[in-house]
Structure 1
Amino acid sequence: MGETTLQAAPHAHIQHSGSDLLEAAKAALLKSGEQWTAMRASVYKALAQTNKPSSAYDIADIVSQSEGRRVAANSVYRILDIFVSSNLAHRVESANAYIVNAHPECRHDCLFLVCDQCGGVIHIDDDKISRFLKESAEKNDFVAERSVLEIRGKCSHCLSH
């Protein structure tokens, strides 16, 4: 089960895939002031090919196999942190895993539906929910830097099987 984006926000997203996704990610990373290196490209390609949240260890294994050399998970963690800060990927906090952002040119808070059975994640972009969370924080004299909301349960695929 791959990342699915439900469009509850009042604007449309360009959902990138394949080589278009890779080019959008590269452009977003360069725009954020970071470099697009061969290693970062390899990590991004590995993350983009997975169909559920992946840990740094999962990604390190994929890159190690594709490059025929051992890649350390610590190196992958550093790259994933850059990807998250540059909006190329999202971190699923409860799983300590990452998913690719199919529209890196558009920033949203992370709102995830996490399936406890298959491990899949549905990523929801809903500006109303994000705005409500930030306003609630402000009412309590708290400045929210980012919101991560995860709802755990079962996806429709797992419910039907």
Structure 2
Amino acid sequence: MMAMEVACMTPSHAKPPAHHRHHADPAGYVAAVARASQARGLRLTPLRREVLELIAAAGRPVKAYDLLERLREHHDNAAPPTVYRALDFLLEHGFIHKLESINAYVACHHPEQAHQVPFLICDRCASAEEVCDARVAELIEAQAEALGFRPLAQTLEVHGLCKRCR
């Protein structure tokens, strides 16, 4: 199995979250999601698990229709709603992230805890790096509060070229 290309960048001067663990291997990541699901009383159905495994194995952001194609290799009758229901569950519970600007999904490095994180997205190779620095989300929330704004969701995506592509 291929290692996940989605990395977590924590600045060297920043303290990582208390439960900061990365799941570099897809099987370890899926096992962590299964544990988190069980701890929260959630049902990780075989289909949800399979979609999660496909996202983890992709090693890069993956689109819903690419997931559907892969599912059809084992489930001839798989349809778009099947994939989208699984994705909705995984998103709702913080097990994956959606990169809105490229309409793709990536595994979350911290499936044990819900959090908002910005991403650095390479426009050449389509890799995505999760920036694991709570200060970014806290700063956005503080600015919103100062302006009397109540954020319901955060999506911060920075596009450019990764180190390999530069």
Matching of residues 35-54 of structure 1 within 5 Å = 35-54=43-62
Could you say which structure has the higher helix fraction?
Answer: 1
> 1:80, 1:100 → 2: CA distance?
11
Q: Summarize the Cα distance change of 1:68–1:80 in structure 2 as closer, same or farther, 3 Å threshold.
A: closer
- 1:5 maps to 8
- 1:158 maps to 165
Matching of residues 101-112 of structure 1 within 5 Å = 101-112=108-119
The one-letter code of the counterpart of 1:157 is: R
Give the TM-score normalised by structure 1: 0.90
The one-letter code of the counterpart of 1:37 is: T
Matching of residues 81-120 of structure 1 within 5 Å = 81-120=88-127
Q: Could you tell me whether the CA contact under 8 Å between 1:110 and 1:149 is conserved in 2?
A: yes
Deviation at 1:18, TM superposition (A): 3.4
Unaligned runs of 5+ in 2: none
Deviation at 1:71, TM superposition (A): 1.5
**SS of structure 2 residue aligned to 1:152:** strand
Unaligned runs of 5+ in 1: none
**SS of structure 1 residue aligned to 2:164:** helix
**SS of structure 2 residue aligned to 1:26:** helix
Give the TM-score normalised by structure 2: 0.87
C-alpha deviations, 1:120-154, integer Å up to 9, x for none?
A: 11111111111110011111111112211111111
The one-letter code of the counterpart of 2:79 is: A
Deviation at 1:68, TM superposition (A): 4.8
The percentage of counterpart residues that share the same residue type is 28
